[in-house]
Structure 1
Amino acid sequence: MMVCRVFAIFFGNCLCLLLLLSSLADANQANIDCLKTFKSQVEDPNGYLSTWDFGNQTAQGFICKFAGVTCWHDDENRVFSIKISGFGLRGVFPQGFKLCSDLTGLDLSRNNFSGPLPSNISFLQLQHNQFTGTLPPQLAQLRRLKTFSVADNRLEGPIPKFNSAIITSESFANNLNLCGKPLDNCKMTSTNSHSKVVILAALGGFTVTAFVVGIVLGFFCSTISVEQLLFRKSRQNR
């Protein structure tokens, strides 16, 4: 009976270890795929990503030697942060980052990325690019957001209501037409203005119509009163 218990405990520990190693292997492969996908989705005219060589994927921590990549541990392929500021990279925001499940910091500032921003990202430094469109409101729901900047882009529209105190006006400076706290309040949109004009025009038209109807009714009533008065006088004369 004792031998059976010892064997069961040993077997359970081995199974847990195998599951742990399997999950770490999957996490490492996801991070490798993250960087590989990112490299395939951007243009690198200056060759800064030439160190991102995926030929020897059997070496532990080989991606930790990539330019701009920092790992949680040097012997694990788990990306902690990516800082590739000023690399001169071009293209839309790389969707491959969603595979970097362990990523806590991302600095893409001073590149030439363009297009809209995705909504499922956090820990961002995206200043000095060419991003366009509006800021996704989902960004304000990221509770782990520690650093954020989209200064010097071409963004417009209202700023989501961030709860973090670190989000200051400098984080949104020099954009096309961003508005709302911590910047100036948003002006009335043309659609709202048009709606108000339509409403005022309708009220004005109703007022004019009521005035005209009042004059007509007044004239009609006065005409009836005069006819009744003449009729009474004619009867009195008879």
Structure 2
Amino acid sequence: MKVSGFGNSLSLCTLPLLMMLFLLLYKVRSQSGGGDDKACLSGLKTALQDSRGVLVSWNANNLLTPCFNQTLTQLTGINCNENRIVSILLSSRGLGGTVSSALANCSFLNMVDFSDNQMTGVIPTELGGLQLLATLNLSVNGLTGSIPEDLSNCTYLNVLDLHRNSLTGVIPQSLGYLERLKVFDVSDNDLSGPIPVSLANLSSGAPRFNISSFRGNKHLYGFPLPLPKNRNLSVLAIVGIGLGSGLISLFISFTAVCIWLRVSEQRLAADEGKISQLMPE
């Protein structure tokens, strides 16, 4: 009886502990999920300019529950899985405005495509917090500013397409350390500086990404881009100047020697004349 009583007492004591452990695990799981899809889309809608009305379904009621019944949604361009937003596909919708930093709240995003719109502004550094992001396509817009180095934190990034914008600055070296990166295109921007070796070379000697990924940036240089024509001209100009200066120096030296010889001859002739006058006939 004593043993049985002790066991009952133990069970009564462990029950609250088990409940606390369950609540703790639930809290950890909730935090690991992270993000707030409703805040994500609300912030994005505020930042976008929808002149065509393609986001009419993004009303207050639908934004209240972006995803329902695992994969269903009534929002244009949105795809869900397990009641979380996993992709935002709004290519060629005539959208203006900016890329909202609120996108970072959609923590389960693996695909973002805003290509071929009229979006402006900068690429938010907060996108680097999307650790499940595999595709980021912001091409053919009017984006400015630099490429955020924070994007190198998106370790699952497979596609990074930023071509035909007005991006400036250098290409972050850290982007080359993304091992899963298979598509990389920053062509037709206003980028400058050297192409990171980690994006240009492979151990085999072949380029990791070819010329088409980098061309159209007047101040960008390095392999695999060819040597700019103006640099070829500069090299030829330097060689020409060197040869020209050498010939000029040779001409000046030759002229100086000729003058010296002429003066010496005249002095010698004068000395000979003086001597001949002094000698008896």
TM-score by length of 1: 0.63
Check if 1:131 corresponds to 2:138: no
Check if 1:18 corresponds to 2:27: yes
Query: How far does residue 10 in structure 1 lie from its aligned partner after superposition?
Result: 5.3
Letter of the 1:217 counterpart: A
Counterpart for residue 48 of structure 1: 54
Counterpart for residue 196 of structure 1: 235
Counterpart for residue 66 of structure 1: 75
* Cα distance in 2, alignment partners of residues 118 and 82 from structure 1: 23
> What is the correspondence of 1:162-173 to structure 2 with a 5 Å cutoff?
none
Asked if structure 1 preserves the Cα contact closer than 8 Å seen for 2:144 and 2:167, the reply is yes
Counterpart for residue 115 of structure 1: 143
Q: Which of 263, 268, 272 is the matching residue for 1:229?
A: 268
Asked if structure 1 preserves the Cα contact closer than 8 Å seen for 2:48 and 2:97, the reply is yes
* Cα distance in 2, alignment partners of residues 213 and 234 from structure 1: 32
Counterpart for residue 145 of structure 1: 181
* Cα distance in 1, alignment partners of residues 44 and 221 from structure 2: 33
Aligned residues: 224
> What is the correspondence of 1:180-219 to structure 2 with a 5 Å cutoff?
185-186=225-226, 188=228, 190=230, 192=231, 195-196=234-235, 199-200=238-239, 202-204=241-243, 206-219=245-258
**Structure 1's 118 and 53: CA in aligned 2 closer, same or farther, altered over 3 A?**
farther
Query: How far does residue 214 in structure 1 lie from its aligned partner after superposition?
Result: 0.5
Asked if structure 2 preserves the Cα contact closer than 8 Å seen for 1:132 and 1:156, the reply is yes
Q: Deviations over 1:91-150 (max 9, x none)?
A: 4555544444432212223433323375245535668xx623469624555434355667
* Cα distance in 2, alignment partners of residues 163 and 93 from structure 1: 32
Q: Could you say what the CA RMSD is over the residues aligned between the two structures, in angstroms?
A: 4.7
The gaps in structure 1 that reach 5 residues or longer are none
* Cα distance in 2, alignment partners of residues 94 and 136 from structure 1: 23
Asked if structure 2 preserves the Cα contact closer than 8 Å seen for 1:93 and 1:114, the reply is no
* Cα distance in 2, alignment partners of residues 189 and 99 from structure 1: 46
Asked if structure 1 preserves the Cα contact closer than 8 Å seen for 2:189 and 2:217, the reply is yes
Letter of the 2:179 counterpart: R
**Structure 1's 136 and 214: CA in aligned 2 closer, same or farther, altered over 3 A?**
closer
Q: Deviations over 1:9-36 (max 9, x none)?
A: 6544432322322443xx232x433322
- SS of the residue 1:131 aligns to: coil
Asked if structure 2 preserves the Cα contact closer than 8 Å seen for 1:43 and 1:90, the reply is yes
Letter of the 1:28 counterpart: G
Letter of the 1:116 counterpart: T
Counterpart for residue 28 of structure 1: 35
* Cα distance in 1, alignment partners of residues 269 and 22 from structure 2: 117
The gaps in structure 2 that reach 5 residues or longer are 1-5, 119-140, 152-156
TM-score by length of 2: 0.56
Please identify the structure whose Cα radius of gyration is greater: 2
Percent of counterpart pairs with the same letter? 20
